Amino acid sequence: MDIPRIFNITESAHRIHNPFTPDKFATLGAALRLEPGTRVLDLGSGSGEMLCTWARDHGISGTGVDMSQLFFEQAKRRAHELGVSDRVEFIHGDATGYVAEKKVDVAACVGATWIGGGVAGTIELLAKSLGDGGIILIGEPYWRQLPPTEDVAKECLAGSIADFLALPELLASFGTLGYDVVEMVLANQDGWDKYEAAKWLTMRRWLDANPDDDLAQDIRAELASAPVRHATYTREYLGWGVFALMAQPKGPQG
């Protein structure tokens, strides 16, 4: 079981597989006022940077589930490196439908909401693992600027304009789903650059080492077009953030 090979190639050197930089995860961890012993579930945990650094900095314990064999192995290595292997556990597998055996305090899906079939489905899935008063974290793109055409949306690697909302609409949508937005940390263009540009050097080095690979032509084409496409489209049109949500109280006061 694995994700498409192209991601394991282009993101093999990434510690964070989204436009967040280490300081953004640190800001988010502090903003959430994480206490030692807080239990965190992370679906699509990638190379485990969020769980491992929060375990080191805040003493949380956590479980991450990810379908990439490579990222899963990197996550275990990172936990070992940071001395938190006793507190964070990584599971290699499909997180679709994954529900924790014991309820958690924070249930996250940071940049992988297709796991629940979109934002609403992912919130519903995470809620099944969440204890009373717990926090859901959703990492998701939004339109910084609305693309003028569907073609522009596609250049941002969206299927269509309708795949994402503008930030105010995204925030409002959480309310419609019955959640209060209680915190948010947004990525910025530097973060996008870090995420995207790191792929370019990785691709170049991979091409030098694997000139005859079946994917070499695709990767060469991607390397040739990615920088200009990024600067023209993704960097300008797409924003990204992590949103912290708490279920609105039910009953007369809610």
Q: Considering beta carbons, is residue 3 or 246 the nearer one to ligand SAH?
A: 3
Query: Distance (Å, rounded) from C-alpha 49 to C-alpha 42?
Result: 11
Shortest separation between residue 251's beta carbon and ligand SAH, angstroms: 34
Residue numbers 102-161 binding ligand SAH by CB under 6 A: 110-112, 115
* 244 in contact with ligand SAH (CB under 6 A): no
Among 9, 10, 12, 16, binds ligand SAH (CB under 6 A): 16
Tokens linked to 161: 């304009």
Shortest separation between residue 253's beta carbon and ligand SAH, angstroms: 35
Note whether 5 and 27 are within 8 A (CB).
Answer: no
Nearest by Cα to 130 from 246, 248, 216, 224: 246
Q: Which class for 88: exposed (0-12), middle (13-18), buried (19 or more C-beta within 10 A)?
A: buried
Residue numbers 36-95 binding ligand SAH by CB under 6 A: 44-46, 49-50, 65-68, 71, 94-95
Q: Considering beta carbons, is residue 147 or 191 the nearer one to ligand SAH?
A: 191
Query: Distance (Å, rounded) from C-alpha 246 to C-alpha 238?
Result: 25
Tokens linked to 251: 């009953």
Binding site for ligand SAH (CB under 6 A): 3, 16-18, 44-46, 49-50, 65-68, 71, 94-96, 110-112, 115
